[in-house]
Amino acid sequence: MVYLDYAASTPVSEEALHVFEQLSKNFYGNASSLHDAGGKANDILTYSRRSLAAMIEGEPDGIYFTSGGTESNLLAIRSIINGLPAHKQHVITTSVEHPSVHHAVSSLERLGVKVTIIEPNQDGIITEDILKKALLPETGLVSIQHANSETGIIQPLA
């Protein structure tokens, strides 16, 4: 079989499976626990955070491990909104975002955050003019998916 739906999920490579198997057998402790197994697991997490941060020229404390895109989107959107001042509680997103983004902004809207959903042009692009029309002085977050895995459209974010 030739598997081509890598937008939805990806089969695990033999190398990644081997590493996962070894880590699961040898470093299974809760990284937040004080026992030896937890300490070893915490060492692996610390090493992983440092390695990934170095690759992206980021900070290890800014690296979070999640179960997937949905959890990552929710964490990012909620964290940004929670860190904004009260006068910047307006979110702009698009009608073509991943459902997890729509769920996240809907939950924020129920909490009183103002949400504006913008539509792309006939080519599926969010133009600068479309975005400018939605911007308000209280806009604190604009969430636009850079590349859509279903349509292949790449938004000109720069």
Residue 2 lies in a domain: no
Cα(158)–Cα(75) distance, integer angstroms:
24
Q: Does one domain contain both 133 and 89?
A: yes
Question: Dihedral sign, CA of 121, 127, 133, 138?
Answer: positive
Domain that holds residue 22: 14-62
Q: Which of 75, 92, 86 is nearest to 111 (CA)?
A: 86
The answer on 52 and 88 residing in a single domain is no
Give the percent of the chain with pLDDT over 70.
Answer: 96
Whether the predicted model's global pTM rises above the 0.85 cut: no
pLDDT at 124: 95
Let me know if residue 138 belongs to a domain: yes
In percent, how much of the chain has pLDDT > 90?
Answer: 75
Domain end among 23, 38, 62: 62
Nearest to 25 by CA among 17, 35, 33: 17
pLDDT tens digits for range 70-91: 999 999 999 999 999 999 999 9
**Amino acid at the residue 47:** Y
